[in-house]
Amino acid sequence: MILFDYFNVWLFLSIVKQISGISYNQPKLCANATWNQTAITFANITTVGTQPVGMFINTDNSVYVADQANGRIQVWLNGSTTLTGNYSGGLSVPYSVFVTDNGDVYVDNGNTNYRVDKWGWNSTSSVPAMYMCAQCYSLFVDINDMLYCAMSTYHQVVSKSLDTRLNVWNIVAGTGTAGSTPSTLNQPNGIFVDNNLNLYVADYSNNRIQEFALGQLNGTTIVTGAIILSGPTSVIFDADGYMFITDMKNQRLIGSGPNGFRCIAACSGLYGSSSSQLYNPHVISFDTYGNIFVVDQFNNRVQKFLLLPNSC
């Protein structure tokens, strides 16, 4: 009877996943959710190399980290804490990675090769998915199978259909010139596209998060209240649409909730290498349990902040 129940739960979750087409985690959190301020080091320089920035965690709790120093994507499958394998071959300083719900892995290969590469599920080699002008500081695939790239050095976000018959990408944010107006960006980093196809951009050098409604080239700045951002590099959401941000130059993680924005981890504002500090944090991602992983660039590691079960 227990096996039958577990099978039905697994089947239900599998069907939901197939219907939703969402490969990343958006956990349901309580209003007072807090995280242990002493982080666990999930991976260090031995496995992720020097100055990593890119990461993705899927709904199976598989962790993908862009080891740009060694030209590969390191993989820990299905919640494992032991390195499982990697994607490599022809990669030049991969900056970002995104994995779709069918297991396809998209990797920035724009440093010298000016493209995004794709590894199909269980494939041993890659194929070009999109040709670019520069590195993609962030990659994202939306529910309509549109691939997005944040070209930070071009101050733009572009998108392209994954339909292989359509090879042209379109500008969805930014003019190509650095600026702080509603229509311009300055070194965009992390991007996120919600189910309503609204685009959110961590506008790094403008110290803001911009929201672009579908088809609109003028963005709206997200008001973060008393929290003043400095160099945001990543933006994600939980199940209720609350926003979580890497506030890189302030060396901390920010989260929102019913009571507004607050610091949730590494709140001293000082860089460092202790388990409660970060040094140029970049991508953040949830696992299915609501734990927060963050790529800690200058500490050459990935840190894991555990959700406190009794915080609610």
User: What does each of the 312 residues of the chain score in pLDDT, given as a tens digit?
Assistant: 222 233 333 333 343 444 458 999 999 999 999 999 999 999 999 999 999 999 999 999 999 999 999 999 999 999 999 999 999 999 999 999 999 999 999 999 999 999 999 999 888 899 999 999 999 999 999 999 999 999 999 999 999 999 877 778 999 999 999 999 999 999 999 999 999 999 999 999 999 999 999 999 999 999 999 999 999 999 999 999 999 999 999 999 999 999 999 999 999 999 999 999 999 999 999 999 999 999 999 999 999 999 998 877
What burial letters (b/e) apply to 263-287, b meaning 16+ CB within 10 Å?
ebbbbeeebeeeeebbbbbbbbbbb
1, two tokens? 């009877």
Strands 105-109 and 243-247: unpaired
Q: Are 206 and 224 in contact (CB under 8 A)?
A: no
pTM (predicted TM-score): 0.92
Q: Phi/psi of residue 42, each to 5°?
A: -80, -40
The CATH number of domain 32-305 is 2.120.10.30: yes
Question: 190, exposed or middle or buried, with CB in 10 Å at 0-12, 13-18, 19+?
Answer: buried
Domain boundaries, the chain: 32-305
- Of 203, 193, 237, 220, nearest to 100 (Cα)? 193
- Of 189, 170, 102, 72, nearest to 130 (Cα)? 170
216, two tokens? 């609109």
